[in-house]
Amino acid sequence: MKAADMEWRKSSFSTASGDCVEIAWRKSSRSTAQNACVEMAFLAGAVAVRDSKNASGPTLAFPTVSWDAFRGDLRSREA
């Protein structure tokens, strides 16, 4: 993953005193030109997923082991 592929966004959990948490969102390579886009952020022990058309909307977070199993299942279906 390249830094140029990431969008940095300050978390809503950041404080006014400068204690900030930032998340790097990466658009899926499977996203379409019709704006059917999913973005992921790789966190410590989890992967967050959101709809890129609604960046301030809800996100889902999956344990890394579950995300890896999901991706492995998708890859096996492509073969």
Of the candidates 3, 65, 71, 67, the one whose C-alpha atom is nearest the C-alpha of residue 25 is: 3
- The pLDDT tens digits of the residues spanning 24-51 come to 788 877 666 676 788 888 888 889 898 8
Tell me, yes or no, if the pTM score tops 0.75: no
Q: What is the DSSP letter of 18?
A: S
Of the candidates 74, 77, 45, the one whose C-alpha atom is nearest the C-alpha of residue 62 is: 45
Q: b/e map of 49-67 (b: 16 or more CB within 10 Å)?
A: bbebeeeeeebeeeeeeeb
Report the alpha-carbon distance of residue 75 to residue 71 in Å, rounded.
6
Of residues 8 and 50, more confidence is placed in 50
